[in-house]
Amino acid sequence: MRFTDGAWMVRDGFDMHKACEIRFIKKEEDKLVLTVPTYKIYGKGMTLGGVFLTIEITSPIENVFRVRTYHHKGDKSLEPSYFDIISSVRPLDISEEGSTITAVSGDSSLAIDKENFSMKLYRGGKLITASEGGSLAYIDGSNGSYMREQLSLRVGEHVYGLGERFGAFIRNGQSVDIVNKDGGTFSEQSYKNIPFYITDNDLGVFVNHSETVSFEVASENVSKVQFSVKGECLDYYLIAGSSMKDVLTSYTAITGRAPLLPEWSYGLWLSTSFLTDYDEKTVLSFVDGMLERGIDLKVFHFDCLWMKDSHWCNFIWDEDMFPDAKALIEKIHQRGIKVCVWINSYIAQQSELFDEADANGYLIKKTDGSTWQTDMWQPGMGIVDFTNPSAKAWYLSKLKSLLDMGVDCFKTDFGERIPMEDVVYFGGQDPERMHNFYTYLYNEAVYSLILKEKGEGEAILFARSATAGGQKFPVHWGGDCKSDYVSMEQTIRGGLSLMLSGFSYWSHDIGGFEDKSTADVYKRWAAFGLMSSHSRLHGSTSYRVPWNYDDEAVEVVRFYTELKKKFLPKILEASSVAHETGVPVMRPMVLEFQEDPVCAFLDRQYMLGSDILVAPVFDETGYVEYYLPAGTWKDVYTDETITLSSGKVFKETRDHLHMPIFVRG
């Protein structure tokens, strides 16, 4: 959202009130409250009208400041966001000297100028960021009011995060709206929008609003990151880190960390694909075909058509295709393979469950009291209202029946296409705030059931949509991509961006989702996919078994499946780190080599854990460019050791069985 017309003017239709000076100061043990007029006051007569802002500053954990600014205190926009975050506060060391108020938390301080309002964040004497020059503002607009903040960037500072985004990895110069949409992996839209960004100046900013947040990242003002929300309140957290890893540790301490996952989940998953025809015979031919070819399959996934078309979701196996589903699941289990089935939170009108859900008020309502329905995705579908405890229990009872049948986990698809207008929730929640947050309730409900039934260390989802805190319900995959090299590149950017947004695990559709890739793309993507934290063969209209491509594809899938098994101890070690600190299993190069300026820009290679460097090939000729930072590296294929005193770019041609992989040290 842009409010200005160049450097000097405000856009037509907006009236901007910028924080100007501090008039009143209230100090408490754990809170600093400031009254901030938006104009200079030279006499008491100037207090008879005008816009005053109130700023509350607290510290939930060391080196983190929560800044909550509001205009009209009675406005509903001051209600807490729906995010599940820690509510504790710690003591603040507050002092005044001259015109400066200083609040200290841990090694960090927030220095506030009373006369010409500004806030400067320091960590150990290092300036991290600042709000100054009227950056904090209340804005009257023709379509309502807004709150805005702008935080400074240093020379050469790079901004990352804001969820799973498929455009340029570095966010500088981008306009980003935090609103979940089903837009594929080749648009500016995203399934996983996270109002959190991180910079290589050790700054993290979490905007604590579950409704749409609009970011202008070095765009409207090229020296600042701007974020704004509708309403009378702006609530955000300033995280001063000692490193980017430290920032992620603090952020996930506030919003939650990923659990440990079952060891089998890191192995190869195979899907029936989306719109393909399949029955018991087809499924067993795929399972046995993988095992007969020496491919160690760990999970078989039944996509949508395990149910009858147009009936999703009724949670009833299509008896024409699966006359004895329980026996089929047992046959798969006997082969040492887990079973996953596709679900979503929508109930089609043709579903046997629709009338029951409608009659009991289990679906989201319209403002006139009728059930909200649409023909998008499924004819006449309604949406389960997880704010209704009875609806949640009813929905989970259907899933429990599947678990009792032998299903091991669920793919929780969708959750993005949630209406914001003409809808009412059972719990009375604001529809705009619920749009992004709905996926949290959806995935939390399903994950909690699996956790209850399977126990800690065995619970896992395969989810598409997410919001802040969604990292607690892994794993997430990258969504609907095309089946070519450009889409493979988009996919890796999205995953690395998500890893810098507080998430620890990630997967994607090996070979691409739409259409059918060439054998070459499939093999390159298989190597990349099997060196991701989680690995799944999945597509739309064609089977993704490797022999559907060529003989070498079988060899590639088998080879990298075995190679990943050799790396499993290191991956499990990285998983423990993620669980304890929030530092992800898949790490962008900038996170592991923050002091190397080249790594700030690298978005086509990554670290798997702290020691394994992976550089996927994105070219049909096998040409690849990759960068090794300074240090000692061992080629996993030849055991050749390379010691570099400074980083170096390598340009090579690699065959399908030699994607660049190096082990550090």
Q: Spell 217-241 as b/e; 16+ CB within 10 A means b.
A: bbbbbeebbbbbbbbbbbbbbbbbb
Q: Which pairs count as long-range contacts for 114-119, CB under 8 Å and 24+ apart, including other chains? A: 114/21, 114/22, 114/25, 115/21, 115/22, 116/20, 116/21, 117/19, 117/20, 117/21, 117/22, 117/36, 119/67
Tokens of 383: 């949406």
Residue the block writes with tokens 């648009």: 187
> Does residue 15 carry a catalytic annotation?
no
Q: Looking at residue 476, what DSSP letter applies?
A: B
Name residues whose C-beta falls within 8 Å of residue 134's C-beta, 6 or more positions apart in sequence: 16, 18, 19, 20
Tokens of 588: 């962008």
**Cβ proximity of 457 and 409 under 8 Å:** no
CA-closest candidate to residue 235, choices 2, 421, 60: 60
**Cβ proximity of 607 and 661 under 8 Å:** no
Tokens of 65: 């400041």
Measure the CA–CA gap between 257 and 18, rounded to whole angstroms.
Answer: 37
Residue in 157, 200, 480, 509 annotated catalytic:
480
> Does residue 480 carry a catalytic annotation?
yes
Cα 565–Cα 566–Cα 568 angle in degrees, nearest 5: 60
Rounded to whole angstroms, what are the CA distances from 159 to 44, 203, 225? Answer: 43, 9, 9
CA-closest candidate to residue 412, choices 392, 434, 439, 430: 439
CA-closest candidate to residue 513, choices 494, 495, 538, 530: 538
Residue in 416, 444, 514, 592 annotated catalytic:
416
Tokens of 610: 């702290």
**Cβ proximity of 459 and 451 under 8 Å:** yes
Residue in 246, 385, 413, 603 annotated catalytic:
413
The sign of the dihedral angle between the CA atoms of 287, 290, 293, 294 is negative
> Does residue 413 carry a catalytic annotation?
yes
Provide φ and ψ at 252, rounded to 5°.
-75, -20
Cα 2–Cα 59–Cα 496 angle in degrees, nearest 5: 55
Spatial strand order of the sheet with 297-302 comes to: 409-412, 338-343, 297-302, 268-271, 535-537, 509-510
**Cβ proximity of 150 and 224 under 8 Å:** yes
Measure the CA–CA gap between 273 and 306, rounded to whole angstroms.
Answer: 11
Beta bridge partners of 263: none
User: Residues with catalytic annotation?
Assistant: 413, 416, 480
